[in-house]
Amino acid sequence: MSTLTLEALPLTAEAFRPYGDVIEVGDRFAVINRGTTRHYPDLAKIDVDAQGGRTRVSLYHVMPYDLPLEVAMLERHPLSSQLFMPLDDAAFLVVVAAKDADTIAPEAVRAFLTNGRQGVNYHAGTWHHPVIALDRETDFLVVDRSGSGRNCDEFHFDEGARITVRLAGR
């Protein structure tokens, strides 16, 4: 039995770059609509065109997880990106591993905690845990792909490998 305990780190665009995009306001914006609106453009690489796919918009209503989280599996969408934006100023937990590998070493798993205003966009092929709400039921706007082709792989860790994610102070 091997055990690995991760503490989730604060999510930043830089730390998340190998996995995808962080959806958040930054320094780069344009003032539009006669001064009423700041526009922060082009915050995510939406990648849905493979095999004739198209952009799909959904709502997810997610129950909160208990902590600490035991990570038994991750999934990936080889054909498309997948974006999650919380609708209620809700921090959530993001667990990922590098893309372009068909197996995942427990040591390659990373955990991030969002600040409540941030969303994430997993790039095509990034291994990630199904969406993890914290503390309360949370709604997300999700932007991913509709189309043909096999677009969900799962990786299940060995039963002897126990991966636990904690939050600081919890």
Binding site for a copy of itself (CB under 8 A): 23-25, 29, 32-44, 46, 48-49, 54-63, 65, 83, 85-89, 117, 119, 121, 130-131, 133, 139, 141-143, 146
**Token pair 């306001």 is at which residue?**
25
Q: Based on CB atoms, which residue is closest to a copy of itself, 7 or 139?
A: 139
Q: Based on CB atoms, which residue is closest to a copy of itself, 108 or 152?
A: 152
Shortest distance, CB of residue 13 to a copy of itself, whole angstroms?
13
Shortest distance, CB of residue 161 to a copy of itself, whole angstroms?
19
Cα 35 from Cα 87, distance rounded (Å)? 25
Q: Which two tokens stand for residue 36?
A: 């009423």
Instruction: Provide the CB-side half-sphere exposure for 3 (13 A, CA).
Output: 4
The closest alpha carbon to 78, from 142, 17, 148, 150, belongs to 150
Q: Based on CB atoms, which residue is closest to a copy of itself, 63 or 168?
A: 63
Q: Based on CB atoms, which residue is closest to a copy of itself, 35 or 160?
A: 35
Shortest distance, CB of residue 62 to a copy of itself, whole angstroms?
5
Q: Are 147 and 79 in contact (CB under 8 A)?
A: yes
Question: What is the total residue count of the chain?
Answer: 170
Instruction: Provide the CB-side half-sphere exposure for 50 (13 A, CA).
Output: 15
Shortest distance, CB of residue 81 to a copy of itself, whole angstroms?
10
